[in-house]
Structure 1
Amino acid sequence: MYKARHITDDIYYIGVNDRQKVLFENLIPLPHGVSYNSYLIMDEKTVLVDTVEVSFAEVFLDKLLSVLGDRHLDYLVINHMEPDHSGAIRAIRRMFPDIKIVGNARTFKMLDGFYGINDGLHEVKDGDKLVLGKHTLQFFLTPMIHWPETMMTYDINDKLLFTGDAFGAFGTLDGGVLDTDIETGNHLEESRRYFSNIAGKYGSAVQNALNKLKDIEIKTICPTHGPVWREKVNKIIEITDKLSRYEGERGVVIIYGSMYGNTEQMAEAIAYGLSEEGEKNITIYNVSKTDVSFILSDIFRYDRIVIGSPTYSNELFPEIASLLAKLETRDIKNRKFAYFGSSTWSNASIKLLAAFAERVKWDVVSLPIEIKQSLKEDKYEDCIALGRLLAKS
């Protein structure tokens, strides 16, 4: 009964939307849900490209059969083995026991480990091709985006690239699937948040993949999350390129933790100084209120970062400590950094922020500012001066 969306004459979108999941990977909020994208190629040979999360397998299979009709499914291409894309593989294998599963050597180790499937396999290496009829698929191994087995599949005929998690975005597809049929502003923002939180650590691997793909013509990008990119192919590649090179655009992100408002007032004063010096792109985050996934997205996006914390039990404010741990995991480079802190009797936060700056090797633009008990006029002026300096840096 389902009507599948055409991507090209012979390629169909048969993905599903998840509006139930609250946390992606049980970590990252999904205020707009998420899609699990799967595609079907109808040629002399039929090919399914990736599957969906297992709880949506029944709807997914109905969508598949609505296009496939009474034809046999010849191949399943696995670009990525993460369970939100591989969860329905066992159901596919049961329905089509003679199907050939296409993947690389690392794919098949995970396929056996997750689902106990170790036969009926068609192994591909970098650059290998598979002829379907008028369509020919070419496979590019792109390890560590963001798992070691990840690869991309290029349809030479339609100049269409199935990219797995690369170029993906959070958010459901509400009616339209192609970017030409939807307003993509929010999806582009969610693509940044997706990259920052999922693939942000693996910038060099992403750069390797982009370099490998630079000589092929790409008219359409089909990721496993978010819109199918056609009109904005160059835009999504540009965003991914900049994020993976850690190239921050002009802007300042101020992040603070505060128990009683004193550290918060320091953040406000720094922002005042920035604005006074003509800086327009300023964002302030209360780390206790905004989920870290949104903060990380802006840290990846902008070139200057300011972090402030009170001392809490002779440590950093807990949510600031958690943020710093996530930043170190992602190994973000090329940022200018300033920091500030408050305490009642111990200045541990300043020492710990200094140690963080040393570990991540960011360019510290000023001596830190510290207050005890409350913000006094001299320190208020120091915060404004720091903002001015950041605007000029």
Structure 2
Amino acid sequence: MKEFVQVSESVTWTGVIDQDMKKFHGEELSIPNGTSYNSYLVKDEKTVLIDTVIHKMGYDWVTKLKKEIDLNEIDYIIMNHSEPDHSGALLELMREIPETPIVCTEKGVEILKKYYGKNWKFHPVKTGDKINIGSKDLIFVEMKMLHWPDSMLTYLTEENILFSNDAFGQHYANYGLFNDMADQDQLHYECMKYYACILTPFGGILKNKLEEVLSLDLKIDMICPSHGVIWRDNPLQIVQKYLKWCNNYIESQVTIVYDTMWESTRKMAESIAEGITDVRQDIKVKLYNSAKNSENDIATEIFRSEGFLLGSSTINNGILPSMAALTESIKGLKFKDKKVGAFGSYGWNGRSLDILNRVLDETGLERITDGVKIMWNLDDEDTEKCREFGRDFAKSLFVELL
């Protein structure tokens, strides 16, 4: 277990690194670079613990925390968010200090009681409430539905540190701990993936909340999230990225996703990509087989794309399972301002195209084509038909640039 790290004059990182964690939210989210569960100890005239860690590491974490401080000296435990990756070690900790007040939102009280069945000494707070800990105050800002109804931020005055919980974090087990000690390309991608796959549905709420927080004119010298790196070098850079991402962010990219049985749909995808690049050679076109790539990585590429296309063979009057799973994810993430279309191959029943078109219509995105379907395998005429489909899609997508 990584040694605790001094973050500032009064703040110590008391979290754990979990390099072996490869899936999150059950099996829903792929995190190939692991994650961290960031907990923080704030020492002034009073001592405050901000967030705990996941349950499976609870015993070792509490044992190590005892070496850092007499647990009875902890005056408050602040739970910015009740999800079990942050609150899971509470059971182990509260066995040691059962009378210590737990500070959280009203909804946090409800959720913690439901998860752990304990009537601990709760101290509910709302936006603007504060706790004085000596020479500094802790100020609380509710962040409802980012991404749970109990979420909040905690701000430490004097040192100007924002404890942001899931906001501005990423699943990235970086042993350097701080953002200036990380691989910057990897860090940027993991931040975008975290936003795309978790926070996208709440973009409108997030935009309003970020504007509210910025209007408070708080000086922010450091942002300490509950997953991934601590932002000490230009910490507002991640806030600016969030402001871009929550404003229906797009790049000049088309993502083509397919699943295939006997390679016909793959050949269609490749021919469509050639057609797109015939029209715009400077456009990024990315192809992914939904059965062979992470659903979350694909969703991240769709998030950043101006348009995307889905393709599947027909099987049992439906679409292939990996594509069915992806379409459910796309519907749930509620992407905005993207143009879409579908394609597919078949033998005796071409229903896959109809199903994909219906799913795309359910997303509320702009479907700009009825799609294309090919029977059995592609001959030269079919290949050209797919290329032309790609050209037409590109022309519709970038009509204002032509």
Give the drift of 1:373: 0.9
Letter in structure 2 aligned against 1:263: T
What's 1:365 paired with? 368
Mapped pair 1:336 → 2:342? no
Which of 240, 260, 266 aligns to 1:258? It is: 260
Given the superposition, is the C-alpha separation of residues 128 and 193 from structure 1 closer, same or farther in structure 2, using an over 3 Å criterion?
A: same
CA distance in 1, matches of 2:360, 2:198: 23
Kindly tell me: are residues 150 and 20 of structure 1, through their superposed partners in 2, closer, same or farther at Cα, counting changes over 3 Å?
same
Matches of residues 1-393 of structure 1 in structure 2 within 5 Å? 3-27=3-27, 28-68=29-69, 72-174=73-175, 176-215=176-215, 216-276=218-278, 277-392=280-395, 393=398
Q: Which amino acid aligns with 1:124?
A: V
Q: Are the counterparts in 1 of residues 72 and 97 from structure 2 also a CA contact under 8 Å?
A: no
Structure 2 Cα separation of the partners of residues 151 and 94 of structure 1: 25
**TM-score w.r.t. structure 1 length?**
0.94
The whole-number CA distance in structure 2 between the counterparts of 1:326 and 1:10 is 42
Q: Which amino acid aligns with 1:347?
A: G
Rounded to whole Å, the distance in 1 between the matches of 2:305 and 2:240 is 15
Q: Deviations over 1:256-301 (max 9, x none)?
A: 0100001101111111122232134221100110021111111112
Following superposition, the deviation at residue 116 of structure 1 comes to: 2.6
The answer as to whether partners of 1:304 and 1:335 remain within 8 angstroms in 2 is yes
Q: Offset of 1:182 from its aligned partner? A: 2.4
* Cα drift, residue 312 of structure 1: 1.0
Residue deviations 1:131-158 (CA, integer Å, cap 9, x gap): 1111211101111111111111111222
The answer to whether the 8 A contact 1:263-1:310 is kept is yes
Deviation at 1:242, TM superposition (A): 3.1
Q: Tell me the C-alpha RMSD between the 2 structures.
A: 1.9
What is the Cα deviation at residue 30 of structure 1? 2.5
> Is 274-283 or 63-72 further displaced after alignment?
63-72
Decide whether the 8 Å contact of 1:111 with 1:118 is kept in 2. no
Q: Does the 8 A contact of 2:2 with 2:17 survive in 1?
A: no
Alignment check: 8 A CA contact 2:71 2:96 kept: no
Q: By how many angstroms is 1:59 displaced?
A: 3.0
Aligned residues: 392
Q: Which moved more, 1:228-237 or 1:296-305?
A: 228-237
Q: 8 Å contact 1:312–1:318 — kept in the other structure?
A: no
What residue identity is the alignment partner of 1:94? R
- Cα separation, 2, equivalents of 1:81 and 1:241: 25
Instruction: Name the SS of the counterpart of 1:214 in structure 2.
Output: helix
Shift of 1:236: 1.9
SS at 1:354's partner residue?
helix
Letter in 2 for 1:167: F
Report the 3-state secondary structure (helix = DSSP H, G, I; strand = E; otherwise coil) of the residue aligned with 2:273.
helix
For 2:342 and 2:7, how far apart are their aligned partners in 1? Answer: 49
Q: CA deviation at 1:123?
A: 1.6
**Distance in structure 2 (CA, Å) of the matches to 1:238 and 1:368:** 37
Contact 1:3/1:66 (8 A) holds in 2 = no
In structure 2, C-alpha distance between the alignment counterparts of 1:148 and 1:287, rounded to whole Å: 32
Structure 1 CA distance, aligned partners of 2:112 and 2:123? 13
Partner SS for 1:168 = coil
TM-fit CA distance, 1:365? 2.9
Moved more, 65-74 or 114-123: 65-74
Displacement of 1:212 in angstroms is 1.9
The DSSP-based 3-state class of the residue aligned with 2:73 is coil
Separation in 2, partners of 1:239, 1:120: 38
Q: 1:119 offset after TM fit, Å?
A: 3.6
Report which stretch shifted further, 43-52 or 198-207: 198-207
TM-score for the superposition, normalised by structure 2? 0.92
| Aligned residues of 2:255 and 2:307 also touching (Cα < 8 A) | yes
- The aligned amino acid for 2:172 is G
SS of 2:48's partner is: strand
User: What's the offset of the Cα at 1:183?
Assistant: 2.2
The answer on whether the counterparts of 1:151 and 1:163 sit within 8 Å (CA) in structure 2 is yes
- More displaced 10-residue stretch of structure 1: 216-225 or 289-298: 216-225
- Deviation of residue 232 (structure 1)? 4.7
Please list every run of 5 or more consecutive structure 1 residues that lacks an aligned counterpart in the other structure.
none
Runs of 4+ in 1 over 4 A off after TM superposition: none
**Is the alpha carbon distance of 1:278 and 1:88 closer, same or farther for their aligned partners in structure 2, counting shifts above 3 Å?**
same
Q: In the alignment, is the contact (CA less than 8 A) between 1:341 and 1:369 conserved in 2? A: yes
What secondary structure, in the 3-state scheme, does the structure 1 residue paired with 2:390 have?
Answer: helix
How far apart, CA to CA, are the structure 2 residues paired with 1:105 and 1:115? Answer: 16
